[in-house]
Structure 1
Amino acid sequence: MSASAKTWLERIRALPLDKADGRPIKIMNVCGGHERSITMAGLRKALPDTIELVPGPGCPVCICPEEDIFEAIQLALHEEIILVAFGDMLRVPVNVAKAEARTLEQAKAQGADIRPIASPTEAISIARDNPGTQVVFFAAGFETTTAPVAAMLAEGVPDNLSILLSGRLTWPAVAMLLDSGTPGFDALIAPGHVSTVMGPEEWEFVVKDHKIPAAVAGFTPESLLAAMYSTLRQLIEGRCFLDNCYPQLVRAGGNKSAQAHLATTMQVVDANWRGIGIIPASGYQLAEAYRSHDARERFPTYADDARKRAGEMPPGCDCAQVVLGKLYPNQCRLFGTACKPRNPIGPCMVSDEGACRIWWSAGIREPAAQEEREETLA
């Protein structure tokens, strides 16, 4: 692991990488942070043409169900509350008439008291500073951001603070892809931060049940290239195991304290992923003992069942296909034309962990040719 990025690249280039069917070897990176590191470091161009790096379902903003965002917007507009949310969530659009608020940012412009925060501790501070006002924390995210919310609840929160929870687990989406029979990748780079919290063992199923090489990686080019080298060696040698290329933070068993807080304050349930549909055992809801702090229990419901249908992306937006690794960002029909960071149509162009936003920030601005899109989907 102490080798330089240059050394890892040389080791990868020295491997016999030709596949029998002539197709490139596809390595999926689950984490949006990994995708950002890969793209900003230019690793795709540095690797041999026989390797393709596929962005995966690791952007919590991208998969947050439209009905949850819609509910947050309506709560903020119609109730006398302060709504707080992680900053990226404020710009994610929902499908409504042009005259209505499409984002939390637009709802704020219409007079709703909506405030971006960076951590759960800020939600507690806002609640304590406003004891006469109900504060709703719209908490969307994967395990790494849901665990601090769980810890906050376990340690006790002000009576005027409630949670509108939209937490998701990462591994069930990968399991869904693998169970589909057409996962679209030959090896997996597992997320470092999620593995720090939940333990690398969560990803053993990739190796044991599906015989696909896997390695946990950190966020430096060195760690990512080491993980790629490991999975490529596994493919070549015909032996699969889960490698840990992020030993600085990832330990066997993960963070037991964080896991205990999650187990105490939350329950795992079937959950909707935007544009994808219901994935079994992939979401969190507050445990019975903490329902008094559930915004869905405390306030009138603004849920809209009509919004729970799969495929809930704006017309023409292929964000769901990008999230599932079926298309590259610039192969979306709207990329670089109707959809740009200043006017995002789909959620993948909003978040810093969204693959479309990452590619745009790296200077990839032109949409791919229709022929290239069709070839990828084939």
Structure 2
Amino acid sequence: MNTSHQTWIDRIQSLEVSKPIRIMNVCGGHERRISLSGMRSVLPEKVEIIPGPGCPVCVCPEETLHQAIRIGLDHDVTVLTFGDMLYVPTNAPKNEPRSLHQARIAGADIRPIASPQEAVSVARAEQDKYVVFLVAGFETTMAPIAAMLMEGIPDNLLLLLAARLTQPAVRMLLSTGQAAFDALIAPGHVATIMGPEEWKFVVNDHNMPAAIAGFTSGGLLAAIYSVLRQTIEHKPFLDNCYTQLVRPRGNALARRWLNETMNIVPAAWRGIGIIPDSGYNLRATWQHHDARHIFPAEDGSRRRAGQMPPGCDCSEVLLGKLYPDQCRLYGKACLPRNPVGPCMVSEEGACRIWWNSGRRSSGCSE
């Protein structure tokens, strides 16, 4: 074990944790590091780490995903998206393709890509038809999308945006007064773009300890130690434990490009509902690249449109109300090779992460 890691573990274990403390992380990368490293096993018995809404694939609106499937099947277009999105199930009728992968098998031209630059390259190579890029992601995904727009994109490249902002989801959880956590670990990659300041509301409005963390075990242990000490001493503040990259006000150029290309709007989160000021859409200058203007959405009459699949508790997992292995379908009907809910699909989904880390039964110990 890294010496610095052991130092943080020793500091954490030396704290007098006299009552349960629940710490939420809202980043799939954080949850993956915590789970796969076995970090929970070295924490005091009364400390819980709760995964929250940190998976953009998981919260992508079901109706938007279904729209992308129908666009690919019903029109002579190429549909592009990031790889994890191919396998997320929708609530389509049993006799229809339920995922982009199944639609691809059925004959639709649907392709996984790894970067916005690939979307531009495909559109330039296929200028005789529309190329629709389904974009799911948080702020760190949208910054390169904004840069792509600012640099100029082919006329035939359309964007079907399902991107979300992280902070409004946490604000929504805290505004209910029934948040299932006592302290917050904020995502370092988002703070790198947007700045640490947007997380001050956790402390200022809710008197809750908070720390921004990077993605190493040492960085996460430092953030855990910080919020535990803040809680024990009753002195909450926002601690930046990712000073290597997180600077005041974030990345000025990325924020400017986001502001020039995108509006911030109310947006649907799958299984959760509409969260104010939590989504992106294109500003008027770029609306001719909005796939929704060319291919209108369905009428909404489809059964269970917008919802999680029957029996799936992904929304409760995303809200921090259940651990992944407490879902009714986890490890039974829902497995990585046959996912029912989106949280078992993505490498940033809590259910997939817990399964990959060896969790097979309910409980919160590792």
Q: Is residue 2:83 matched to residue 1:96? A: no
SS in 1 for 2:199: helix
Name the CA distance, whole Å, in 1 between partners of 2:302 and 2:27.
27
Name the CA distance, whole Å, in 2 between partners of 1:308 and 1:254.
43
Q: Is residue 2:153 matched to residue 1:157? A: yes
Name the CA distance, whole Å, in 1 between partners of 2:140 and 2:60.
15
| Candidates 353, 360, 363, aligned match of 2:355 | 360
TM-score by length of 1: 0.94
Counterpart residue number, 2:342: 347
| Candidates 129, 138, 141, aligned match of 1:133 | 129
SS in 1 for 2:162: strand
Name the CA distance, whole Å, in 2 between partners of 1:205 and 1:247.
20
CA RMSD of aligned residues (A): 1.5
Counterpart residue number, 1:8: 8
SS in 1 for 2:136: strand
% identity of equivalent residues: 61
| Candidates 310, 329, 335, aligned match of 2:330 | 335
| Candidates 103, 109, 114, aligned match of 1:107 | 103
Name the CA distance, whole Å, in 2 between partners of 1:204 and 1:284.
22
Counterpart residue number, 1:180: 176
Deviations 1:239-285 (A, max 9, x none): 11111111111111101111111101110000110000011111111
Name the CA shift for 1:33/1:134 in 2 (closer, same or farther; >3 Å): same
Letter of the structure 2 residue corresponding to residue 341 of structure 1: P
Q: Is residue 2:71 matched to residue 1:75? A: yes
Gaps of 5+ in 1: 373-378
Name the CA distance, whole Å, in 2 between partners of 1:58 and 1:308.
27
Name the CA shift for 1:309/1:297 in 2 (closer, same or farther; >3 Å): same
Name the CA distance, whole Å, in 2 between partners of 1:32 and 1:154.
28
Counterpart residue number, 1:319: 314
1:303: Cα distance to partner? 2.8
Q: Is residue 2:183 matched to residue 1:190? A: no
Letter of the structure 2 residue corresponding to residue 263 of structure 1: N
Kept in 2, the 8 Å contact 1:275–1:310? The answer is: no
Kept in 2, the 8 Å contact 1:84–1:123? The answer is: yes
Kept in 1, the 8 Å contact 2:50–2:323? The answer is: yes
Name the CA distance, whole Å, in 1 between partners of 2:165 and 2:138.
6
- Structure 1 runs (4+) greater than 3 angstroms displaced: 306-311
Name the CA distance, whole Å, in 1 between partners of 2:111 and 2:167.
30
SS in 2 for 1:37: helix
Counterpart residue number, 2:267: 271
Name the CA shift for 1:118/1:272 in 2 (closer, same or farther; >3 Å): same
Deviations 1:184-219 (A, max 9, x none): 111000001111111111101001000000000011
SS in 2 for 1:269: strand
Counterpart residue number, 1:376: none
1:3: Cα distance to partner? 6.9
Kept in 2, the 8 Å contact 1:75–1:302? The answer is: no
Name the CA distance, whole Å, in 1 between partners of 2:18 and 2:302.
45
Name the CA distance, whole Å, in 2 between partners of 1:109 and 1:214.
46
Name the CA distance, whole Å, in 2 between partners of 1:246 and 1:286.
31
| Candidates 305, 328, 350, aligned match of 2:300 | 305
Kept in 1, the 8 Å contact 2:63–2:305? The answer is: no
Compare 65-74 and 144-153 and name the one that shifted more.
144-153
1:311: Cα distance to partner? 7.2
Letter of the structure 1 residue corresponding to residue 308 of structure 2: M
Kept in 1, the 8 Å contact 2:62–2:306? The answer is: no
Aligned length: 363
Counterpart residue number, 1:208: 204
Name the CA distance, whole Å, in 2 between partners of 1:183 and 1:80.
46
Kept in 1, the 8 Å contact 2:9–2:43? The answer is: yes
Kept in 2, the 8 Å contact 1:67–1:308? The answer is: no
SS in 2 for 1:189: strand
Name the CA shift for 1:40/1:144 in 2 (closer, same or farther; >3 Å): same
Kept in 1, the 8 Å contact 2:264–2:277? The answer is: yes
Name the CA shift for 1:218/1:17 in 2 (closer, same or farther; >3 Å): same
Counterpart residue number, 1:38: 34
Letter of the structure 2 residue corresponding to residue 4 of structure 1: S
Name the CA shift for 1:346/1:304 in 2 (closer, same or farther; >3 Å): farther
| Candidates 116, 137, 141, aligned match of 1:120 | 116
Kept in 1, the 8 Å contact 2:184–2:210? The answer is: yes
1:308: Cα distance to partner? 10
SS in 1 for 2:297: coil
